Amino acid sequence: MDHVQRPPVDTGAVAAHLPATILGSTDVHGFLAEVASNAVQMLALGDEQVSCGITLVTKQRTALATSSDTRARHTDETQRKIGTGPCLAAAKSHEPVSITDTHAETRWRSYLDAVHGSGIRSIFSIPFGVDEDTIGALNLYSPKPNAFPEHFTTRAQRYAHQASVSLRLALLIADLTDRKQDIVDAIQSRTNITLALGILMAVHRCTQQRAFALLRQAGQGSDGSLRTAAAKIIADTQNPTAVSGSA
């Protein structure tokens, strides 16, 4: 098959563009969607249609996935449901996996038979080097057999490497954001507990120790959480009878 060769991907431009993509994305999923979209544009083979899907799996088995089109989404979703295939193999082995013709491939037949109707004939899966707690791969699909020549796979791996560097940054930012929210929640929880203790001390004219015992008692009556009990007591300040009933 004749391929129209495009100029090699400018890795410097890719490296400069992807961090900017992080800043323009609202979350990791949004960043991955941009990576998939950019891959289709940067790694196109002339007029041939290339689809891209990305799957990440964390240590807690939480999956993040995105795709450039319906075909890639269906193919990736099927693989995750079956639990085997080139994407997962690449992610776990940290080595690229190539299928030149899905009709002739003998590996992962249950998966390939399941996606036979999608028209996918060539697959190239590239592992993402993220961290020890996260594995993933960038998957490229074509409706033509033998669609990905060596110059294509070289460019694709270069792009995936640059994307994985930025992905680590995106995951770090997401983790820091989550931790910040946890700190905010913890401060709010402590503030509510302190306020609830003050309310109980005022209502029952008791010591802080006695108020804390009352708060624990109220917590046992709900879900066992001091935070939940404190929030309820604060909400009940408009109803003095309800506050008195916390004893």
Report the alpha-carbon distance of residue 37 to residue 147 in Å, rounded: 19
At 52, list the tokens: 């891209």
pLDDT band with cut points at 50, 70 and 90 for residue 30: confident
Q: How far is CA 228 from the centre of its chain?
A: 30
If you average pLDDT over residues 43-53, what whole number do you get?
Answer: 78
Q: Quick one: pLDDT band at residue 64, thresholds 50, 70, 90?
A: confident
Could you give the CA distance from residue 157 to residue 9 in angstroms, rounded to a whole number?
A: 11
Res 146 pLDDT > 60: yes
Residue 55 predicted with pLDDT over 60:
yes
Could you tell me the CA-to-CA distances from 230 to 22, 61, 107, 209, 210 in Å, in that order? 39, 34, 58, 15, 15
Mean residue pLDDT of the chain comes to: 78
Give the whole-angstrom CA distance, residue 238 versus residue 226: 20
- Name the band, by pLDDT with cuts 50, 70 and 90, for residue 234: confident
Amino acid 1: pLDDT: 44
Residue 243 pLDDT level (bands cut at 50, 70, 90): very low
Asked if residue 195 lies in contact with residue 234, where contact means CB atoms within 8 angstroms, the answer is yes
pLDDT category, 239, cuts 50, 70, 90? low
Q: What pLDDT is recorded for position 5?
A: 46
pLDDT at 183: 61
The lowest-confidence range among 96-100, 173-177, 211-215, 218-222 is 173-177
pLDDT number for residue 3: 46
- Residue 123 pLDDT level (bands cut at 50, 70, 90): very high
Mean pLDDT of 97-108: 96
How does 38-77 read in b/e, with b if 16+ C-beta sit within 10 Å? bbbebbebeebebbbbbbbbeeeeeebbbbbbebbbbbbb
The proportion of the chain whose per-residue pLDDT surpasses 70, expressed as a percent, equals: 70
Which ranges constitute the DSSP H helices of the chain? 11-24, 28-42, 70-82, 86-93, 109-114, 150-204, 208-220, 226-235, 240-244
Neighbours of 132 (CB within 10 A): 6
Prediction pTM value: 0.62
